[in-house]
Amino acid sequence: MSTPEFAIVGHPNKGKSSIVSTLSEDKSVAISMVPGTTVDNRRYPMTVDGEVLYELIDTPGFQRARAALEWMQGHASSAVERPATVQRFVDEHRGDPRFSAECHLLAPILAGAGILYVVDGSRPFGEDYEAEMEILRWTGQPSLALINMIGDSDYSAEWSRALGQYFRIVRVFDALQADFDKRIQLLLAFGEIREEWRAPLAKAVQFLTDEQQRRRSLAARVIAEMLVHMITHQARRRLATGEAEALAETQTRDKLLDSYKQDLATMERHCRDEVEQIYNHGQLQRQEAQVQLLDEDLFSRQTWVLFGLTRRQLIATGALGGAAAGGIIDLAAHGTSLLLGSGLGALAGGVSAWLTADRIANIEVLGHPLGGQEVSVGPMRNINFPYVALGRALLHQRLVEQRTHANRGPLDIDGPGAAWQFSDSATRRQFEKLFAKLRKGESLQADLVDTLATLIEKQFSSRPDAGA
């Protein structure tokens, strides 16, 4: 076999499909507590860069294992005949609805797939399982047993004693909670049950480890870009003539502040969505409070604008600046203004321009006002806000990275233990240097986002649960 294949088998509702979903990173695997949800074999290849690293086969649960074993025992006189007897059973009962589940789950095993036998370690061992394990032993195929902890009770010790008599390797594996390291360890264990699988599974582990690093780099970049946008963002509103007095009214200020808050919330939500897509967890439901502003002293001074120039800039530029601004009109009009723009710009230059601001505000060029008044909210001045946003983003990334694809519940970001702390004060100082540059308006530096992303990625690797 060029690609390792593993048939996931066991009793109904013992977590077989959850195991498949976790190891294949595939949310399309149907998971249900209703017995008989899986009625046919379905293959789930684990693919990276177009190459199938290994393939998992979700199978129906045993239905009549005792009756099937009795038939086999009546048709085999020695251990040598057992594999052929299992094949004969499948051939003769393929169309028999009584043994449909047994025939389906045995078919890929007889074709060469390894066996992953799954039991529920939160339920006590029972004799009913012995017939299943004996049939699997009769196939002669390499096998591994997984004790899946579905409930709160723990009977894993007695399961280990029973399974150890039938299977070479026994592992406890929680399909809903297994982190990346546990999945890697399980793949390496797969390589121990058949010699020729060791090399391809080692390659699979290397592929997945590299992919994990690539995902972290992408996630760090997405978080860095979110922080840059959050820290430097401004919500602006141009005021109509005579509207400046209304700015002091609470309703007007609240409306602009709400718009600013919504912008920040949207940035954070988009970051969440992108990180989840990076880890193949698209369309997750999230339980999370919206990011809160640490103060509301965010209103910038009311400014008089001329093509984006503040009052100070307008006065400082003088007549030359006014002419240059007028030149922008000529360029925007593609030369059709016959240099009228430069003339207007010269008239609007220097202090004289400011003294006639109200008149200039009423002039329109190409349908747009030449000047006017605007008010803006932001950029964020609170020095603690970036750390709040960063901490929330780091926590979200950690939860997404650890989340298995068998977990179909909402992502609880505000649940118990939902907190983030920097490992040392030196790291915080490094972040503060970058945040200070952003607050000073240096966000256009080419390497600033790269530097911030690199520092964020180091946080992924330095935390205690970082793993591979």
Place of tokens 């009625």: 39
Q: Over the chain, what is the mean pLDDT?
A: 78
Place of tokens 């020695």: 78
Give the DSSP H or E segment for 393: helix 385-402
- The secondary structure of residue 60, as a DSSP letter, is P
Task: Summarize the confidence of residues 102-124 as an average pLDDT.
Answer: 93
Place of tokens 């789930």: 44
At 297-341, the pLDDT tens digits run 565 545 544 444 444 544 454 443 444 444 433 334 343 333 344
**What are the domain boundaries of the chain?**
5-193, 210-299+379-462, 303-377
179 pLDDT above the threshold of 80: yes
Confidence of residue 355 (pLDDT cuts 50, 70, 90): very low
110 pLDDT above the threshold of 80: yes
Task: Summarize the confidence of residues 70-95 as an average pLDDT.
Answer: 94
Task: Summarize the confidence of residues 115-139 as an average pLDDT.
Answer: 92
pLDDT of residue 230: 92
Q: Which of 44-58, 215-229, 300-314 has the lowest mean pLDDT?
A: 300-314
Cα angle 165-166-169, degrees, rounded to a multiple of 5:
90
Give the DSSP H or E segment for 375: strand 371-377
> How many whole angstroms separate alpha carbon 268 and alpha carbon 339?
46
Confidence of residue 21 (pLDDT cuts 50, 70, 90): confident
At 227-265, the pLDDT tens digits run 999 998 888 877 665 555 555 556 667 788 888 889 999
pLDDT of residue 318: 44
> How many whole angstroms separate alpha carbon 12 and alpha carbon 129?
11
At 358-405, the pLDDT tens digits run 555 555 555 555 566 677 788 888 888 888 889 889 989 988 998 888
347 pLDDT above the threshold of 80: no
465 pLDDT above the threshold of 60: no
214 pLDDT above the threshold of 90: yes
| Better pLDDT: 258 or 66 | 66
| CA atoms within a 13 Å half-sphere pointing along the CA-CB vector of 223 | 32
Task: Summarize the confidence of residues 343-353 as an average pLDDT.
Answer: 44
pLDDT of residue 330: 39
Task: Summarize the confidence of residues 268-272 as an average pLDDT.
Answer: 93
| Better pLDDT: 448 or 333 | 448
> How many whole angstroms separate alpha carbon 441 and alpha carbon 454?
20
pLDDT of residue 344: 45
pLDDT of residue 65: 94
pLDDT of residue 358: 53
pLDDT of residue 275: 95
pLDDT of residue 241: 59
Q: Which of 302, 304, 329 is nearest to 315 (CA)?
A: 304
pLDDT of residue 282: 79
| Better pLDDT: 143 or 240 | 143
pLDDT of residue 236: 80
Name the CATH superfamily for 5-193: P-loop containing nucleotide triphosphate hydrolases (3.40.50.300)
pLDDT of residue 143: 92
Highest mean pLDDT among 87-96, 199-208, 458-467: 87-96
| Better pLDDT: 431 or 245 | 431
159 pLDDT above the threshold of 70: yes
| Better pLDDT: 247 or 70 | 70
Q: Do strands 368-369 and 169-172 pair parallel, antiparallel, or not at all (unpaired)? A: unpaired
463 pLDDT above the threshold of 80: no
Give Cβ neighbours of residue 81 (< 8 Å, ≥ 6 apart): none
Residue 54 phi/psi, 5° resolution? -160, 165
Confidence of residue 225 (pLDDT cuts 50, 70, 90): very high
pLDDT of residue 135: 96
